[in-house]
Structure 1
Amino acid sequence: MIKKKSIIVLCLFTSCFSKAQETITREPVTESMVIEQEKLCKDKNEIQKIENEIESFLDTVSIEHLKKQVNDNLTYYLNNRGTILEALNNNQKEIDKRINSELKLYLPNEEKYIDKENIHLKLVNNNHIQYRDTIQKGTYFNQLFEYNKSFIKPQVMNSGFATYNFENEETTLPYYSLNSHSEQDLRIMNIYYHDGTEKNVPVPIEPHSFPLNSIPVEKMKHVDSLQMEFKIRYLTKIDSIHFEKNEIGVQKGAFKLLKMEDNYVEYETPNAYDPYLEAYYYTNEGRALKTRFSISNLSVETPEQEYNEMLNYIKITSEYINGVNTKEQAFLTLKYLDLKNHNGSLKNAKKDRVTLEGNVNSFTLYVENRSDTITFLTTLKNNSPVKGLYLHKLEDKTEFINKDGKVITSIPSSINFVYSQQTGYHSDKYFYTKGIEERDYYYLDQDKQVVSQLPYSQIEYLCPSILLAREKGKEGFQLLSAEDNRLLSDKTFTRYIVQRYTGVGILLYNDEGSFLLYDQNDKLVTENSKTVTEITLKKASSY
């Protein structure tokens, strides 16, 4: 069923209405009212999430517009009771239809089973210690600049093996995942910029930012390193709740069995994002069944009850918002209402509905009994040295900024660096704009802090250190250094062959004949040559 929404979501509803409502105003929300709701909220991450959503929302609306949205929404609910009830009923019917299509009495040879894991070993272990130890041994990041914001992207491996990069002579340490039911609170404690400035005010960041997502940092300039605080909550003890088929209506803790028949189970749960950790469903012989379909956090109320509850919630919201005159008051009011809504909703039971690939006779739920917390600090270091120019991606252009965030030049387009899908070679110096057929190519000179437009319509890799460049309006291609925007030969060629099976080396053809490439040390150039700075063409008369 439809879950109770935050005030911000409700404010975003569009509505058609036929009559205005009398304006009712409540006394203003006070700090003490908000503090009381904060104390009742067990999930401190929820408080931060609510605050972030409200701040983002209030940045987009005026107080007048906020009041109008809330009151329009109230009018819509009052004038469209039938439409809303129909939507709630239809939602319930769709779920029933899906469940009914899955119901079946299975024959023994039709059932499908899963292997049961050691749940205690899976959920209660020392993964949080491995996680801490590997992170503290050293973690690196890449820095990105996009849409007038700076981000760091952690560089980690999700495996137990350390790797060594021979090009930059760096070892990447493995990253051990936390258990799926562990939680982490993250804060950036200190940011150290290359220009010697620091930011020492702790800033909370999204719990799931590390290590897979980009993390925002305040200033658009090169970060040498930053210090992060990790607070990890992990399970230390779990309990199990077991229901048999003959226990319909039995309540065990916050769980109640509602129905168990053939391959179907339905039971009440507490109103929580994750009311239990794991679930196993068993046949009469004790074999664990494979789940066919499940849906959780469903309302146990009727559509009529849901509508009345939501209408009352919207009325209260309207009455509080009508007395708001500043953004500060709006923030306090919305925070109070959202926290009160969140805390109140936790008292309402929800239910799960599950179909299995076999006949179910019992099931076991595993729930948290006790948890503990460890806190530690680690330093993340920039994986890249200071550059002459950094890319700043915007909607309609690409800026090139220096290490202090100053714009040096820009391109009125998004850009892509030259890349070979066949070999995986990629350039950090040559890039292009526009479409595939009409590309403009550029060269990025980090040392001189210059971006130069090139006269080519096509550039692709011949080997890691040599590019093939086709000049606009001309036939054939020339050989271009992959490093320093320099032609390696004044000759133009019409075709080439990378010899893999009939010999070694690279054959180039033009009107003068065929040639083999040799490097500055008179070594034959192959498709894997990485250090070519000069070339010599030697006639390959036998080809």
Structure 2
Amino acid sequence: MIKKLLIIVVFMLFSVAQAQEKVTEEMLKEQEQLCVDKYDIERIEKDIHSFIDTLSIKEIKKRLKTNFNYIVNNKDTIIKQLQYYRVAEDNRFERDTKHYTLEEERYEKKKNIKSTLVNNNHLHYRDTVQNGAYFEQLFKDNASSLKNKVRNNGATVFKFSSEKTIQPYYSLNQHSEKELKIRNIYYHDGTVNNTPTSIPSHSFPLNSIPIDQMKHVDSIQLEFKIKYVSKIDTIHFNKSDIGVKKGNFKLLKMEKNYVEYETPNDYYPYHKGSILEKVFYTSEGKVLENEYSLSNISLKTLEEDYKGRLNYRKINYEYVKDATTKKQIFRILKYLSLKYINADIKNSKKERVLVKGNVNALTLYLENRRDTITFLATLKNEAPVTKLYTHKLENKTEFIDKNGKIITSIPYPISFYYSSVLDEHSKNIFFTDTKRVKDRTYYFLNKEQQQINEIPYDIIQFLCPSIIVVEEKNKEGYKLLSTQTNKLLSNKTFTRYFVMRFSDKRIYMYDSKNSYVLYDQNDELVTKNSTNVKSIRLVKEDY
């Protein structure tokens, strides 16, 4: 969007009264509360720090004055730049605006949007979390966290343990989960932390949940509050409604495959009146697929845009010129930046959409009300208590017991080996993270015996979960190593290997004269899916 292209936080545009005022903490907090996207606050702080931290106060003031003078002295150049962005955007729409033939039109299956948007999906979501939530415990940088194994990306719920995807009836958006709390933490040793602890709502289900102690957690009890859409409103526009305003929306254009309409000044997801769904129709009432849109385009003219830049840089300089500390400068620039963004949302009112067919009507489904439910869910550790855990640090790796006691360590960060054949990471084979692959050292992790043993080979590839192909250092040829015992399964050296992926999935090993298939200790054929191979027998095959 144009807005996003033109914003550079410290040097943004903003047209406000030019009378100087002292920026107080209360004024700053007011703008922070008005900011609809809290990520903008973090971004502004980061950008301001990158601007002022390496400069003296005198240099900061000089830069701000230089920026203002540049705008004053280069009006024509700046307006040409603004015009270039607008023309480029207009050209994109003009290029793709056209009449569609009947064969080209793309339709979506018509559905009852009202019942889709408002139903019992929040209960479905609750049941999904309560019945199938597990976690993997991680130890990193002297902290413990729980990585969730059920994820809700807003459109689907995917349960890793069953590899099943559940499609909710409406999307749970980023503002659905409120006041997430850990009620109880149950540790393996029978101790319980029952102090209610609030955690950021984004920690579940997409991110890891922080835990206070470095020891094995059996389960945790979470309290959820979910705000769900319980009532919606609709606004319908026909092509004959061009220029008509209905509620806070106004239809501006509807021609060929192009629609343009004006949104409310306070348009931003998610609140009463925000758009949950938009549906486009042909003259026959068929539902058209939405191609793409550029939303929230500013309605300001080029001259207004330029004056905004001019006023904002002038205000930046005038507000800062009497500041005596960097703390004051930081507060001033953050206040002005937030004030700009909050005002800019009100100036961003127009949405432009292309669809895959000739559009004749549009229905907007708007949020009217959200209600709240509260429920408790117990998340369980998917792994049992073991005798050894991996604790990753920046420059080394520690191996700790279930109570956090260090058993051993190596002076390198590590990664567990990933197998493209199995599409998963090994649970007991890892290597040191080095710049060059050939400098890696491979290790075998024996949790039961609390041992870390170096593997004196280079890892080449997994053949199956029980067997890996290894290469002797500085020697040609391949060996077969057990992933369960870290011992060679055969003294024979092979020249190449091949895994049948789609037919019988058997494994072929070759030397200079023969080919072999593998049989395990139970005289069963070893395939890419074999999981409990303790010994092998080589059987020659003609080829």
Q: TM-score range by the shorter chain?
A: 0.7 to 0.9
- 2:488 is the alignment partner of 1:487: yes
Structure 1, 222-231 or 296-305: larger mean CA deviation: 222-231
Aligned mate of 2:24, from 26, 29, 33: 29
Structure 2 partner of 1:298 = 297
What letter corresponds to residue 389 of structure 2 in structure 1? Answer: L
Structure 2 partner of 1:415 = 415
Structure 2 partner of 1:154 = 148
Structure 1 partner of 2:392 = 392
Structure 1, 463-472 or 122-131: larger mean CA deviation: 463-472
- 2:276 is the alignment partner of 1:267: no
Structure 1 partner of 2:381 = 382
Aligned residues of 1:415 and 1:431 also touching (Cα < 8 A): yes
State, as a whole percentage, how many aligned pairs show the same letter. 41
What does 1:456-471 align with in structure 2 at a 5 Å threshold? 456-471=457-472
- 2:182 is the alignment partner of 1:189: yes
CA displacement at 1:218 relative to structure 2 = 6.6
What does 1:5-404 align with in structure 2 at a 5 Å threshold? 9-11=8-10, 26-31=21-26, 33-34=27-28, 36-37=30-31, 43=36, 46=37, 48-50=38-40, 52-53=42-43, 65=55, 72-73=63-64, 75-80=66-71, 81-82=74-75, 83-106=77-100, 111-145=105-139, 151-156=145-150, 177=168, 179-180=170-171, 182=173, 183-186=175-178, 187-189=180-182, 192=185, 198=193, 200=195, 202-205=197-200, 207=202, 209-215=203-209, 223-271=217-265, 272-274=267-269, 275-320=274-319, 323=323, 325=325, 327=327, 336-337=335-336, 339-387=338-386, 388-392=388-392, 394=394, 397=395, 399-402=397-400, 404=404
Aligned residues of 2:509 and 2:515 also touching (Cα < 8 A): yes
What letter corresponds to residue 76 of structure 1 in structure 2? Answer: N
SS in 2 for 1:132: helix
Structure 1, 49-58 or 448-457: larger mean CA deviation: 49-58
| Residues in 2 aligned to 1:260 and 1:515: alpha-carbon distance in whole angstroms | 69
CA displacement at 1:385 relative to structure 2 = 3.6
| Residues in 2 aligned to 1:255 and 1:501: alpha-carbon distance in whole angstroms | 56
Structure 1, 259-268 or 366-375: larger mean CA deviation: 259-268
Deviations 1:30-54 (A, max 9, x none): 33x355556656x5xx4x5455446
SS in 1 for 2:346: coil
Deviations 1:174-233 (A, max 9, x none): 7664722643235343574668585947444254x5333445557766555444443322
Deviations 1:122-166 (A, max 9, x none): 211111111012212341122345677654321026778988x6x
SS in 1 for 2:241: coil
Pair 125,323 (structure 1): closer, same or farther in 2 beyond 3 Å: farther
- 2:438 is the alignment partner of 1:446: no
Pair 65,430 (structure 1): closer, same or farther in 2 beyond 3 Å: same
Pair 532,262 (structure 1): closer, same or farther in 2 beyond 3 Å: closer
Structure 2 partner of 1:168 = none
SS in 2 for 1:470: strand
Pair 101,497 (structure 1): closer, same or farther in 2 beyond 3 Å: closer
Aligned residues of 1:85 and 1:303 also touching (Cα < 8 A): yes
Pair 379,311 (structure 1): closer, same or farther in 2 beyond 3 Å: farther
| Residues in 2 aligned to 1:64 and 1:317: alpha-carbon distance in whole angstroms | 18
Aligned residues of 2:390 and 2:400 also touching (Cα < 8 A): yes
Aligned residues of 1:50 and 1:338 also touching (Cα < 8 A): no
Structure 2 partner of 1:455 = 456
Aligned residues of 1:191 and 1:223 also touching (Cα < 8 A): no
| Residues in 1 aligned to 2:503 and 2:383: alpha-carbon distance in whole angstroms | 41
Aligned residues of 1:281 and 1:364 also touching (Cα < 8 A): yes
Pair 212,135 (structure 1): closer, same or farther in 2 beyond 3 Å: same
Pair 161,338 (structure 1): closer, same or farther in 2 beyond 3 Å: closer
Alignment size in residue pairs: 514
CA displacement at 1:305 relative to structure 2 = 1.2
Structure 1 partner of 2:15 = none
| Residues in 1 aligned to 2:466 and 2:49: alpha-carbon distance in whole angstroms | 49
Aligned residues of 1:139 and 1:173 also touching (Cα < 8 A): no
Pair 525,94 (structure 1): closer, same or farther in 2 beyond 3 Å: same
Q: Mind listing any 5+ residue stretches in structure 1 that lack a counterpart? A: 14-23, 166-170
| Residues in 2 aligned to 1:266 and 1:479: alpha-carbon distance in whole angstroms | 65
CA displacement at 1:446 relative to structure 2 = 2.9
Aligned residues of 1:139 and 1:156 also touching (Cα < 8 A): yes
What letter corresponds to residue 380 of structure 2 in structure 1? Answer: K
SS in 2 for 1:137: helix
Aligned residues of 1:250 and 1:256 also touching (Cα < 8 A): yes
CA displacement at 1:290 relative to structure 2 = 3.5
CA displacement at 1:295 relative to structure 2 = 1.6
| Residues in 2 aligned to 1:114 and 1:526: alpha-carbon distance in whole angstroms | 48
| Residues in 2 aligned to 1:284 and 1:499: alpha-carbon distance in whole angstroms | 55
What letter corresponds to residue 237 of structure 1 in structure 2? Answer: K
| Residues in 2 aligned to 1:405 and 1:88: alpha-carbon distance in whole angstroms | 61
What letter corresponds to residue 176 of structure 2 in structure 1? Answer: Q
SS in 1 for 2:288: coil
- 2:474 is the alignment partner of 1:473: yes
| Residues in 2 aligned to 1:503 and 1:107: alpha-carbon distance in whole angstroms | 49
What letter corresponds to residue 180 of structure 1 in structure 2? Answer: S
CA displacement at 1:430 relative to structure 2 = 1.9
CA displacement at 1:350 relative to structure 2 = 1.2
| Residues in 1 aligned to 2:310 and 2:396: alpha-carbon distance in whole angstroms | 48
| Residues in 2 aligned to 1:340 and 1:391: alpha-carbon distance in whole angstroms | 44
Pair 450,361 (structure 1): closer, same or farther in 2 beyond 3 Å: same
SS in 1 for 2:260: strand
CA displacement at 1:79 relative to structure 2 = 0.9
Aligned residues of 1:441 and 1:455 also touching (Cα < 8 A): yes
SS in 1 for 2:3: coil
Structure 1, 507-516 or 293-302: larger mean CA deviation: 507-516
Structure 1, 472-481 or 503-512: larger mean CA deviation: 503-512
Deviations 1:283-316 (A, max 9, x none): 3333333444422110011122123234434444
Instruction: Provide TM-score, normalisation by structure 2.
Output: 0.76
Deviations 1:425-483 (A, max 9, x none): 75222234555666542222334544333221344334432333332133444443211
Pair 480,334 (structure 1): closer, same or farther in 2 beyond 3 Å: same
Pair 366,486 (structure 1): closer, same or farther in 2 beyond 3 Å: same
Aligned residues of 1:266 and 1:351 also touching (Cα < 8 A): yes
| Residues in 1 aligned to 2:79 and 2:89: alpha-carbon distance in whole angstroms | 16
